[in-house]
Amino acid sequence: MKKEKNTIIIAMSPFGNSISDYYNFLADEFIKNNFKIIFIFDGGTPELIECYQLKSVKKNVLFWPSVRPTKYKDFLFLFKLIKRERPIMCISNFGSTNIISLVSYLLGVKTRVNYVHTTSKQLYIDSKIGFYKKIFLKYRKKLVYGINTHLFTNSIGTKKDTSKFYNIRRKKINILPLLLKPSTIPYKRKEEREYCISIVGRLNLSKGHKALFFLFKKCLVQYPNLKLKIIGGGSLKQELIDLAKFLKIYNNIIFVGKVPHKKIGEVFSNSLINISSSIEEAYGLVNIEALREGTPLICTITAGSLDILKPKYNGLFISHNDEDSLTNTVMLILNNWELYSKNALHTFENCYSINNINKHTQIISNCFN
């Protein structure tokens, strides 16, 4: 290829979720420094494409020919784009990883980056594919990661997992936790909130809902009026309903279902505590969203929660193997709720607010060298 331009290609889902919005913030910073940003979005349905045309988005927005970029026409589309634009960097996420990594490698793009959002263990827990296919996918992913010049992860734990599981040098991996805008919801004091704790996420095995129900049953002995709000949809819903009835805790559990992303802040601002009961979690973005509303955390120990939760500061850890752990942590937090809530806000402002975006653009810029 000819000499690179100051162009960065970013492949991801359309704006409107925390991950894509984070990249939008990054793009704004790079544009201030005379970079050109080209977004390639998944899910290029006619309705979605028309929506972005009507919005007149200032940044360059393109769509893959396929809804999911895995076909030959997507390969040709990207090949022509890179040949024409000669980008200095390509960043891939999720479904675009394989094709972005391969084409940018073949065309000699100087800086090739994949953002790793999920740990290997989490993928294995939720996946329904067979053993041999898992082995094949592992080694294919290892090859794909190998042809990238850099990897980004959202936590220290995800970095360690990616390095160990795929045998990737740690120096090749940078940690860039997702950043969020400050809340637009007025802060609520303890007495203004519902007498409930919340858990937000897909109803999948890796999220640990079943184990949490047993801990919650024991917690109700101490706090019989406490409610557990379950936000999210998934394949386990009916199993969880049946388990709640079997444990005789159904009347204390509220199955809310899916909530639009723009409304999720209201869930946290109305809750006394947010729980992450995951068996494995790369990051736990919902925990960041909870901190933003001043909502203390209770988490199992996972790759992501170790970065976010500061014990006896903004929350406490629990164990699925300790039937009293939820009761004890709820008691400690409720008795010192105002302090935990204040520290939750401080954690967000100091570590996860979009006001820290300059640090991230500097880390990314260093990858050019």
DSSP 147-175: TSSEEEESSHHHHHHHHHHHT--GGGEEE
Q: Give me the domain span that covers residue 315.
A: 190-352
Same-domain check for residues 232 and 360 = no
Same-domain check for residues 102 and 175 = yes
pLDDT value, residue 317 = 98
Q: CATH number of the domain at 104, please.
A: 3.40.50.2000
For residue 338, being part of any structural domain is answered with: yes
For 287, other C-beta atoms within 10 Å of its C-beta total 31
For residue 1, being part of any structural domain is answered with: no
pLDDT value, residue 281 = 81
> Are 154 and 176 contacting, i.e. CB atoms less than 8 angstroms apart?
yes
User: Which residues neighbour 112 within 8 Å (Cβ) at sequence distance 6 or greater?
Assistant: 89, 90, 100, 101, 104, 105, 147, 148, 149, 150
More reliable by pLDDT, 272 or 1: 272
Same-domain check for residues 133 and 213 = no
Q: Does the pTM exceed 0.75? A: yes
Torsion over CA: 108, 113, 119, 124 (sign): negative
pLDDT value, residue 282 = 72
More reliable by pLDDT, 60 or 101: 101
Same-domain check for residues 158 and 197 = no
Same-domain check for residues 238 and 109 = no
> Are 74 and 65 contacting, i.e. CB atoms less than 8 angstroms apart?
yes
For residue 185, being part of any structural domain is answered with: no
Rounded Cα–Cα distance for residues 68 and 47 (Å): 16
For residue 2, being part of any structural domain is answered with: no
For residue 52, being part of any structural domain is answered with: yes
Helix (H) or strand (E) holding 39: strand 36-41
Residue in this structure with the two tokens 């000669």, named with its chain if needed: 86
Same-domain check for residues 362 and 215 = no
Percent of the chain with pLDDT over 70: 92
For residue 129, being part of any structural domain is answered with: yes
Rounded Cα–Cα distance for residues 268 and 172 (Å): 36
Same-domain check for residues 39 and 152 = yes
Same-domain check for residues 332 and 208 = yes
Residue in this structure with the two tokens 């970095």, named with its chain if needed: 159
Number of structural domains in the chain = 2
Same-domain check for residues 125 and 262 = no
Q: Out of 59-63, 217-221, 346-350, which region has the weakest mean confidence (pLDDT)?
A: 59-63
pLDDT value, residue 343 = 98
pLDDT value, residue 19 = 85
Same-domain check for residues 362 and 343 = no
For residue 278, being part of any structural domain is answered with: yes
Same-domain check for residues 176 and 287 = no
Bridge partners (DSSP) listed for residue 231: 200, 257
pLDDT value, residue 50 = 56
In the chain, DSSP finds a helix count (H) and a strand count (E) of 15, 13
Torsion over CA: 100, 101, 104, 106 (sign): negative
How confident is the model over 253-277, as pLDDT tens digits? Answer: 999 999 988 899 999 999 999 999 9
How confident is the model over 202-245, as pLDDT tens digits? Answer: 998 889 999 999 999 999 999 999 999 999 999 899 999 999 99
How confident is the model over 10-60, as pLDDT tens digits? Answer: 999 888 788 888 999 999 999 998 899 999 998 766 555 555 554 545 578
Average pLDDT over residues 129-137: 78
pLDDT value, residue 212 = 98
For residue 36, being part of any structural domain is answered with: yes
Same-domain check for residues 166 and 295 = no
Confidence of residue 137 (pLDDT cuts 50, 70, 90): confident
